[in-house]
Amino acid sequence: MQAPEIDLNQAALTIDTIRLLSADAVEQANSGHPGTPMEGAPLAYLLYTRHMRYNPANPDWAGRDRFILSCGHGSMLLYSTLHLCGYDLSLDDIKQFRQFGSKTPGHPEFGHTPGVETTTGPLGQGIAVGTGMAMGARFLAEKVDPELFNYTIYALCSDGDMMEGVSAEAASLAGHLRLGNLIYLYLDNKISIEGDTSLAFSEEVATRYLAYGWHVERVTGENLLEVDAAIERAKCDPRPSLIITRTNIGQGSPNKQGTAAAHGAPLGSEELKLTKQALGRNPDEHFSVPAAVYTHMAGLKTRGVELEQQWQQKCTAKAKVNPKLADWIDSTAPDSAALDKLIPRFEAGKSVATRSASGATLNALAAGLPLMLGGSADLAPSNNSHLNGADAFSPCHAGRNIHFGIREHAMGSILNGLCHTKGLLPFGATFMIFSDYMRPPMRMAALMGIAPIYIFTHDSIGVGEDGPTHQPIEQLSSLRSVPNLTVIRPCDANETAQAWKAALLKRTGPTALILTRQGLPTLERTEANSAELLHKGAYILAAEQHPLSLILIASGSEVQHAMEARQELEKDGIGTRVVSIPSWELFEAQDAAYKEKVLPRACRKRLAIEAGLTFGWERYVGLDGAIIGMEGFGASAPGDELMQHFGFTSANVVKQARQLLAKN
């Protein structure tokens, strides 16, 4: 796509329109950030009119270039640009900025506004998600077709993005992998909310990114010819590119340009009038778009349709001779029957750590799902997340095994970027204790409704000798508190296999698999207590043999103790039911009749057992129940000793059960 020479007068008219639409929207909402849209308008104009391939009529066209507004607080820059480019975002939508139910929320939201590629808000996330998008593009280019998936990921970044640690993690990996399909433009305005960035930020960003292995240039943000040429050079460089654009926040505002006052609050009616006058506009007109601007931008929609048609024609022709491409075109979420043919079955009686069962299941699934890829934050041998026989994702080869390095935060965000790539099934693994480092991107995945799979091993004090720094206590409760995140803690190898199936079937949100380091007995199963009942979230693993007096409820490694305790209690004529509850979220999705069947209200004596924080279990044990759990941190000792010390044994379950039954 060869862009014509820039008409500087027409460009200036359009750029100022983006600035004033954005400022008007913030002013009307009496909330928002006008400064970033006003300084970033020239960059957005250049990208959308001269460099990016996209189709406003089909924002999800797979061959498009991607744009990420990493500094999501400047959302009106994106909304104004999308409106002028012909996306399904009207002027009335612009006027509804930050209002309930509008297409223009305070920060861009994926799946909510046409043309928004990912949800941004927490700074640094866009930079890291873009790294995942670039990896996804390279993977499809190598595994499916190099011509169809040669798209570029562009991002606009701020000083805040550069300060956040996640951007450093992601940029380091992007430079190592030589992701030349990344081009980031950095708004170097020297301003943050508290004032000049020199208050807390004096590093040489260009030198840092050069050290990461990036191509770096410096330009003046208002010089369209200079920025345009820098973008062209970046396209030709095999490294990821950072174009540092010296800009003035609030560009065009006579009294607030270049100050923190233009950052996080409306300009104010008087300053907005002065700004319009300074830009040659009528100060009393609001949300004004000159007819010449609409005329100038109208061709972008036609061009987009033509670009997609050309791509689709190539895709159709190539699919006739490329079976991998044909498979990609037809790729949909895996169905239950297909997964049943892939997942292994484990023999009852054997002791298997659920992390080991997960590794075996993962490899069996990957053999039949060629677009499954992922890896670990430098812990693959420990969490069994390596795909056997597959190559590594490296600077020169897009293999299926991703070595994220010790970068948990970036790993979570990169998984989100991979999820934004059609057909891919990404996973990432680490110890459960380090899930805390991943919370921001996990929350974003849940908010966006995308489906990365997290493998969290070493799930309790059973970790043992590494001690309390590595023993999860509150993490399980914390993960369960995240809306739309499905947490599954299987009790044996066959539940683990079904947990993987559940994770792959859920395509509307992320899933966390919580797995043990230590071996667990593989339980005897019948149709009545089949491991497939895991998909119900909770089920009767062992029914009472006498009239029901007590329900033992447990997840993961503690289910074995409930099963042993039941045998002891039943010998004394105490009707005891064991309920395995691998996933609260899946159980809560069941109807009331099923919940009543598993946990009948008439049985008020309930004892929950879980080697984690007791918080939240009240919903299942009620006022007359009890919980065996953790109230403090663990200790450094062999795992078996710790389980004994903290009461996670069948003997203690029996003891606590008898005490519970003795209460009135």
Instruction: Compute the residue count for the chain.
Output: 664
Pick the closest to residue 569 from 591, 601, 545 (CA basis). 545
Report which of 227, 225, 265, 261 is spatially closest to residue 246, judged by C-alpha positions: 227
Q: Which two tokens stand for residue 132?
A: 């995942």
How far, in Å, CA of 318 to CA of 272, rounded?
53
Which tokens belong to 236? 């030709």
**Which DSSP symbol is given to 536?**
G
Q: Tell me if 657 sits within 8 A of 569, measured CB to CB.
A: yes
Helices 8-29 and 291-319 pack at an angle, to 10 degrees, of: 100
User: Strands, E, within 354-469: which ranges?
Assistant: 372-376, 393-394, 397-398, 401-403, 425-431, 453-457
Residue with tokens 């004004």: 288
Among candidates 621, 612, 626, which has minimal Cα distance to 478?
A: 612
Task: Specify whether 204 is catalytic.
Answer: no
650-662 vs 559-571: helix axis angle to the nearest 10? 60
Query: Which of the residues 109, 117, 308, 408 is marked catalytic?
Result: 408
Q: What is the DSSP letter of 392?
A: B
Please answer whether residues 361 and 344 qualify as being in contact, where contact means their C-beta atoms are separated by less than 8 angstroms: yes
Residues 6+ apart with CB under 8 A from 493: 346, 350, 352, 354, 356, 357, 520, 522
Locus of tokens 């400064």: 35
End-to-end CA distance of the chain: 80
* C-alpha angle 513-517-520 in degrees, rounded to nearest 5: 90
Report the distance separating Cα 613 and Cα 615, nearest Å.
5
**R_g of the chain computed on alpha carbons:** 28
Catalytic residues: 408
